[in-house]
Structure 1
């Protein structure tokens, strides 16, 4: 005697169809996040930070800027300031400190340069991050704003150039100068 044919419950079939369509859809294979077409990718910054440390960047680009950062390893957090080039979790205007992707929109009215601090959370021995910097061209310019009119001087193009500087290198140079000065002083005293 043949075994009776069993039919799957309708909800099971629907669930299998949904999962199959998600797996086979072309959009599900993409690792890239959705970005509005009005955003222009200016720069991609990658780096690493030790636990409880900061890596500082400086943004000179005018206009509304969107920072999107994801931690590739560990947990990196984002702090932004228009008043300090070394923002921290005690001194910032904008922040994103999640366990997942972090994002901050820097308004066009923020005074430049803008200080950006990437903090390595102490719960991890090392944090690696990738930050994408976008210019948001959807912000309407005020008709009397000087940025709405082209300038004649040669420096006008420099206003819109993205400058992300790693200020930790500057700090290391200052420390080396101090160390060399101390060594010179010790050598003068000894000899």
Structure 2
């Protein structure tokens, strides 16, 4: 007999999963491994807004992307995610293709095994990565035109990462999956 708590957990899991994945289409998943202190490289030619999700099954792998450098790294990248859990990076529709992707094996582990998934994001949503890039380029132009050394810029508010919400939702879904597996 399924208890009310189990039923509620299952219901909540499916609601959250449908909210997170609503409109996202899985394009491809690759399962691979990378040795510690090494990179594995990929290229993505798909157009539109994308979300790259890197799940480390063993060890800890990190993801770096670039539209100009064929071998993105810790020092040279356009986007990155280096958490100890699920890593996620959003690719703007305005980035030049192909997008170069590198998966870095954390030096603490001799081998990291992972899955890298590419999702196409819905066209109707706001492309926050593009808006952020436009804002930054306009802010840079404005600061060059209106640079006054007598004005302090220490009170500026830091900008949030455009994929912060996506990362939090991915973590929440992962936790719910674990709870779902434990309850069943």
Partner of residue 61 from structure 1, selected from 43, 46, 63: 46
Counterpart for residue 97 of structure 2: 112
Aligned equivalent of 1:93: 78
Please list, as runs of the form range in 1=range in 2, the aligned pairs for 1:10-159 lying within 5 A after superposition: 21-24=4-7, 25-27=9-11, 35-139=20-124
TM-score, reference length from structure 1: 0.58
- Matches of 2:73 and 2:33 in 1, distance apart? 17
- Aligned pair in 2 of structure 1 residues 115, 23: CA closer, same or farther (>3 Å)? same
Aligned-residue Cα RMSD (Å) equals: 2.4
Q: CA, structure 1 residues 132+124, in 2 after alignment: closer, same or farther (shift >3 Å)? A: same
Distance in 2 (CA, whole Å) between partners of 1:33 and 1:119 is 28
Whether the aligned pair in 2 keeps the contact of 1:64 and 1:139 (CA below 8 Å) is no
TM-score (norm 2): 0.60
Q: Deviations along 1:52-71, whole A, 9 cap, x unmatched?
A: 00000001111111011110
Runs of 5+ unmatched residues, structure 2: 127-184
- Alignment partner of 2:89: what SS? strand
C-alpha distance 22-44 of structure 1, shift in aligned 2 (>3 A):
farther
**Which deviations, in whole Å up to 9, do the C-alpha atoms of 1:145-177 show, x marking residues without a partner?**
xxxxxxxxxxxxxxxxxxxxxxxxxxxxxxxxx
Q: Distance in 2 between matches of 1:123 and 1:111?
A: 33
Q: CA deviation at 1:135?
A: 0.5
Structure 1: runs of 5 or more not aligned? 1-19, 142-191
Task: Number of aligned residue pairs: give it.
Answer: 121
